[in-house]
Structure 1
């Protein structure tokens, strides 16, 4: 018989394990059982997304593209070669990456903010939201200094008759006059100008914020990037809620940038013009003085004409004088440039085109000026301690030393040349000494006049060349794609918002189900049982809203009645000829008495005599549940030898074949009574009278009474209640079986709630056949059983 019992248990356990071992499928079943909450949350998410899109101001992206002249990119094989040095003759180089930094400087953005009055904004007043606009029928002018704005303000404006204006905010109301300046604290002096007639029903407002906040806000909205490293183009994007204003602001930003860029080139030209102007003024005065001396000399000496020899000597002397004059001009230019270079405290741009014959040195000047301007641009957004600025300073210092060395070498060469020319001139002067004294004096003055005249002509030519070059200066960047707003807003994007809202809405109930499963410590489904114990499950009892203790009758066809009938059948196989059944559990409240009563009636329906023994001597409950009076019971019988068995047997009132033995008076030593010799004799005698004896014992997890009663039982039915029994308590029956304290043990799962799964609808394979499943109330969202 023992082998058959073991084989049947193994087969039953295999059936339980093979029913469903897919965790994903079990979790999916939980989702299906709560489908209405997913549907509800999904609808709520879609509705919230709709209102979010309805009342959120869309943000658009304005795009523009600049082309920057940069010889470092797109130069082909010339880049990095010796020919690259000659590119300096065409103007200063411009790095695209540096231009990106210039476009991102706060100073440049501040110029745009002031030019566009971007610290002032307008909006239309709506019932639920305010919409930014660029088409307000009025304009707000800040008459005072915009930098004096300390706090941001926002007002709704109402136009009255005769130019009266009313300003309102959450806690302030004041009036002003149209086109007349008025003051407001922390803002300054304002003036309102009307640009068009106000249409009926229109309500407008405006806001003013400090300049630095407007600059900061636009800096966060602006993005400048080089998307293609192989070309010298810069992409600008500006996010704005008002497309027309965004396009205008980006246009102004580009305009301010090109103005600055052109100003850098003009700085070099202006420096050269200033140098030439100073020298030209000096030479003009000197030339005028020499001409006055010649005129006075001729008048004083009555000089009318010179001999042919004097003309030849003067002509030859003029050639030497011209050569010496050119050398003097070059040396003078060198001295001026050296004076610029020797001032190391503050690097300045150098005059260009003053040494046209020295192409190599002019190339150095161009590179030097380019580095100085680049340093100034970097300082707009960085400090002098920045590594980029320091690296530029090192390059400037290196170029300065090279240029000083080159200038000194050139100056030495010019002085040697001047010395040779002077020697030739001296020889010619000795021959002039032979000329009469009056003519000789005139030749000296004429030679000096020629020197000054050559210097004057040279400087005048350079002035004209530089002035013409300055007017021809253009920015090294140009707009190849004008600011244009994207057709669709960058945010919020309707499809993405709906998808995200639906995802979050569905994720919430999914997360709640998962978290509840993760932190749940009680037995919630059959998977918790099969994962916690290998003991066989005799049957399961569904949850019932019926308050009656006995739910099974001869004609009952309810799901619970069918489950008790199925349990009765399984119990007959389990007993295999035995008749004594022990009921216990881990703790109180798991339904031992309820199951024992209904199983007793189910057995009695087979025309079997059934006895229920209320052996929970510490806390009896069957008598009170049946509504019977407390009488003599088990405890009195054991301690009173004169009592007969018939005195403690009474009808249960549930069925004519079901009798009851009450617990009797609560004894001080229940454990000793349960294993007394008289208790053993009682069990033997009752076994001869009844076909089945059902013993209701105390919870085995609290006291040892059930273990003591196990000696009288042929099988033990261990109650596990869904949502009540702790998962850790499943180790108790495992331990009892493994240590042989109670054996065999069959599990009964009580109070199973329907959840749409196989186990819920059929009670782990039993019951509900031919019946409609009991659906879970919609409001019990937290129930994932």
Structure 2
């Protein structure tokens, strides 16, 4: 029942004090926190200042859709030419991020050479440097190089790098390893003397990778708007980079449109030249036929037949024209099987599937040609594009073949209808009938020629209307404040780390501490009661309690005297055994001061030094230890009064020293003479205090336990291992000692020590077991602070 109650008290006590104990330790080490915060904040400040600030440069582009609103003649022509005027926002966003565009920007602005002014914390990038590093003859693959450039009098330029240390003049080329031939040119502004500049040189490929990572290109909230942002350390340079990207994008778009138009125009002109020859030859034949046969005009019957068949002839001419165009395109594509040229789509306006395939095919060719400017034919990307082009070319041929078959069926139907009319032509004279055939062929050729001339003119006109497919609705503009680094985050992180490092260290020590630190450490490990707590004494003297002493420790020993009266109160012969788990825990100190406080109350007290293995009590009193307990046991002639000696500290205090150190201390304590001596002493003294050996080291204390009326087990704050409390619990559970009580010695109240908080000038009032006394003192501390 007692154990269960003790466990409940322990749980409540531990819960109440765990956080308070930890906070108290934090408070005691406040200077750790202050030093840590100052150091961590300084590191955070240094890191924040060393970071290069980045500014956000943004722009908005609207993609123009020619199909929105009214259809103008120009937009219709552009649509027929398949010039990608209806490109989606998603497609244009991808085009804006292509390597080709980024590479053109890096090359145009020479972004592979970066200039800095060397600083103490970081180098500041310069956009308008006082000199220009010109790469005259670059090597195939430029490796990264960093140059330190400084200027002295007479235009002498000092250059230092890991591969070069020299002095050159303006406009004088020199070799730079990993870069090629380089020269330094003058700029409008002059360099500042005694200032060191840093020049970073890298490859265009590295710059392109960096640009692609810095740009963010996303569709805007509006359906046709693209938002473009760039993070850059120099706002003006970032604006120029973004402006150049948009400029090159527009130029590329217009160039692609013109290339498509040129391809279609060249094809049409070639066909017109061929048809012109055929039509001229046919007209010569008609003229010769009429001259030979003296035909000036058709007969009335022939005119009527031609008039009746004109509708079929017109439709048949259109079909024949389209078939001729498809055949020409098919021959053109078969000769261009590898997809090396643009395919015109404006000639086949009736087949949207073919037009889409042509648009995809031409886009792939343009993309491949752009990439071939920076890579070779064996590059995996080029190989993949070639495969896509070949596949698209095959699909286009299949589409053309399907269209030709469809047109062939239409032609056969029209010819069948025309033959019905031509049956009536058989009645026309032979010469007129032959002339009618020639006239029909002429009409078909004329229709085809006129169609091609019309398309050629439309194509030529379309180049005039090739305007950009985008509008810069919000020009590039940088923000006034950097977006990174966020210095407040660095500072907050520094302060947080400054708090966490010492807190973690103290908490780690708190968790890993194996020594007794709080009363809860004792309560939860043993049911033996704590009957006294003695504070730390800075005095080197062993005797703390005096007749006129009113110190906190003296009051604590008086409290121990009072508590003992509840356990032992015989008129005479009260024997108290003082032991501990190991040496150094203060049992001799406790014995001396407990004896003195009892003597002060008028009791006759005897101290027995029975730690025969390592006696120290007599030494503390400064008396000779040549004659004592061992002499009484070994010599029957020695009487009890012979080994008892008075102490000068008080008239009621006496001592029996241990005597010579024996070889068999345990056997001497088991001797009948030892028992006889103790029984005789009981009748002579009110209190007998035995300073016994540590019970955790030898069994001597247990041998003496049978004589004791009360056993005082001494533990030392922040010295005794928590595991040693198992010893006193085992002694109590197995009744190996009578009436056990624990005395906690050397309680330190400073430096965040949790045990016995409140000791000092409050007469040792540790507080109640419910912890309320400690909490009151703890709260008052923070109220004052």
Coarse TM-score class (shorter-chain normalised): 0.7 to 0.9
Aligned counterpart in structure 2 of residue 366 of structure 1, from 355, 363, 367: 355
Map of 1:206 onto structure 2: 199
Quick check: 1:154–1:208 contact (8 Å CA) kept in 2?
yes
Map of 1:777 onto structure 2: none
Q: How is 1:459-478 mapped onto 2 (pairs within 5 angstroms)?
A: 459-478=452-471
Map of 1:306 onto structure 2: 296
Quick check: 2:323–2:404 contact (8 Å CA) kept in 1?
no
Map of 1:762 onto structure 2: 758
Question: For 1:134-165, what per-residue CA distance to the aligned partner results, in whole angstroms no more than 9, with x for missing partners?
Answer: 121222222224x7353222222223455432
Rounded Cα–Cα distance in structure 1 between residues aligned with 2:395 and 2:232: 46
Map of 1:182 onto structure 2: 174
Q: 1:25 to 1:767 in 2, by over 3 A?
A: same
Farther off after superposition, 530-539 or 467-476: 467-476
Unaligned runs of 5+ in 2: 70-78, 767-785
Map of 1:35 onto structure 2: 30
Rounded Cα–Cα distance in structure 1 between residues aligned with 2:584 and 2:65: 86
SS in 1 for 2:683: helix
Q: Are 2:632 and 1:642 equivalent residues in the alignment? A: no
Map of 1:191 onto structure 2: 183
Q: Are 2:588 and 1:593 equivalent residues in the alignment? A: yes
Aligned counterpart in structure 2 of residue 336 of structure 1, from 323, 328, 339: 328
Rounded Cα–Cα distance in structure 2 between residues aligned with 1:100 and 1:390: 24
SS in 2 for 1:575: coil
Map of 1:602 onto structure 2: 597
Q: CA deviation at 1:737?
A: 0.9
Q: CA deviation at 1:186?
A: 1.0
Rounded Cα–Cα distance in structure 2 between residues aligned with 1:683 and 1:139: 105
Q: CA deviation at 1:508?
A: 0.9
Rounded Cα–Cα distance in structure 2 between residues aligned with 1:499 and 1:241: 24
Aligned counterpart in structure 1 of residue 215 of structure 2, from 217, 222, 230: 222
Q: CA deviation at 1:285?
A: 3.4
Matched residue pairs, number? 742
Q: 1:635 to 1:204 in 2, by over 3 A?
A: same
Q: CA deviation at 1:470?
A: 3.7
Q: Are 2:54 and 1:59 equivalent residues in the alignment? A: yes
Q: CA deviation at 1:723?
A: 2.1
Map of 1:570 onto structure 2: 563
Q: Are 2:227 and 1:235 equivalent residues in the alignment? A: yes
Q: Are 2:553 and 1:556 equivalent residues in the alignment? A: no
Q: 1:172 to 1:20 in 2, by over 3 A?
A: same
Aligned counterpart in structure 1 of residue 428 of structure 2, from 428, 431, 434: 431
Rounded Cα–Cα distance in structure 2 between residues aligned with 1:493 and 1:69: 38
Map of 2:781 onto structure 1: none
SS in 2 for 1:623: helix
SS in 2 for 1:154: strand
Q: CA deviation at 1:462?
A: 0.1
Q: CA deviation at 1:28?
A: 2.4
Quick check: 1:314–1:447 contact (8 Å CA) kept in 2?
no
Q: Are 2:20 and 1:25 equivalent residues in the alignment? A: yes
Map of 1:532 onto structure 2: 525
Q: Are 2:703 and 1:690 equivalent residues in the alignment? A: no
Q: CA deviation at 1:132?
A: 1.4
Q: How is 1:312-461 mapped onto 2 (pairs within 5 angstroms)?
A: 316=306, 325-339=317-331, 350-356=343-349, 358=350, 361=351, 363-372=352-361, 404-418=401-415, 420-421=417-418, 431=428, 433-434=430-431, 451-461=444-454
SS in 1 for 2:589: helix
Q: Are 2:277 and 1:285 equivalent residues in the alignment? A: yes
Q: 1:675 to 1:542 in 2, by over 3 A?
A: same
Rounded Cα–Cα distance in structure 2 between residues aligned with 1:385 and 1:153: 31
Normalised TM-score (structure 2): 0.82
SS in 2 for 1:21: helix
Rounded Cα–Cα distance in structure 2 between residues aligned with 1:423 and 1:190: 84
Rounded Cα–Cα distance in structure 2 between residues aligned with 1:110 and 1:167: 29
Q: CA deviation at 1:596?
A: 1.7
Rounded Cα–Cα distance in structure 2 between residues aligned with 1:467 and 1:641: 141
Question: For 1:492-519, what per-residue CA distance to the aligned partner results, in whole angstroms no more than 9, with x for missing partners?
Answer: 2122222111111111111112211222
Aligned counterpart in structure 2 of residue 250 of structure 1, from 242, 245, 270: 242
Map of 2:725 onto structure 1: 730
SS in 1 for 2:592: helix
Q: CA deviation at 1:459?
A: 0.8
Farther off after superposition, 90-99 or 125-134: 90-99
Rounded Cα–Cα distance in structure 2 between residues aligned with 1:171 and 1:683: 94
Rounded Cα–Cα distance in structure 1 between residues aligned with 2:761 and 2:6: 15
Map of 2:771 onto structure 1: none
Rounded Cα–Cα distance in structure 1 between residues aligned with 2:387 and 2:204: 31
Q: CA deviation at 1:187?
A: 0.4
Quick check: 1:371–1:396 contact (8 Å CA) kept in 2?
no
Q: CA deviation at 1:355?
A: 3.3
Aligned counterpart in structure 2 of residue 140 of structure 1, from 133, 148, 155: 133
Map of 2:480 onto structure 1: 487
Farther off after superposition, 10-19 or 733-742: 10-19
Q: 1:284 to 1:547 in 2, by over 3 A?
A: farther
Q: CA deviation at 1:64?
A: 2.7
Q: CA deviation at 1:330?
A: 1.0
Question: For 1:85-122, what per-residue CA distance to the aligned partner results, in whole angstroms no more than 9, with x for missing partners?
Answer: x9999956545444444444434322322222121111
Q: 1:663 to 1:126 in 2, by over 3 A?
A: same
Question: For 1:329-370, what per-residue CA distance to the aligned partner results, in whole angstroms no more than 9, with x for missing partners?
Answer: 2111122344577788759864222134x2xx1x22333234
Farther off after superposition, 471-480 or 704-713: 471-480
Rounded Cα–Cα distance in structure 2 between residues aligned with 1:160 and 1:325: 84
Map of 1:718 onto structure 2: 713
Map of 1:580 onto structure 2: 575
